[in-house]
Amino acid sequence: MTTPDLTPPAAVAAAAKKGLELREKFGRGGTDVGVRRAEGLAARHAVTADDVTHISSYFARHAVDKDAKAHEWGDESDPSAGYIAWLLWGGDAGRKWVDGLKAKLAKA
């Protein structure tokens, strides 16, 4: 079996770019690591198998952020820091993408 394409899909890149824009506008959300991840995803730079594991782990740890009450999840006029950070890592499209990649990489 061949190694799957590790280039972030357009939807993942778009989510990361949106996260960077919201972080700039609101001054919250994500860490320096998340910003670097978003920059790579937005530029559609291929990730490594280790990156897939790290990104998947991020989503597993931070799914609870969707329940935060400080700001509304997904509200682009006053987004929560967790929502912005989630986007930096590729958003829901990123989670779906890396979960699929993990399965493919396990078979490869």
Quote the CA–CA distance of 2 and 12 in Å, as a whole number: 22
pLDDT at 11: 98
The CA-atom distances, in angstroms, between 100 and each of 4, 20, 22, 34, 107 are: 10, 24, 27, 21, 11
The CA-atom distances, in angstroms, between 27 and each of 20, 30, 79, 84, 108 are: 10, 10, 11, 10, 41
pLDDT at 25: 96
Per-residue pLDDT 10s for the chain (108 aa) are 577 899 999 999 999 999 999 999 999 999 999 999 999 999 999 999 999 999 999 999 998 878 777 677 788 888 989 999 999 999 999 999 999 999 888 887
pLDDT at 106: 85
pLDDT at 108: 75
pTM of the model: 0.91
Domain residues of the chain, as ranges?
10-107
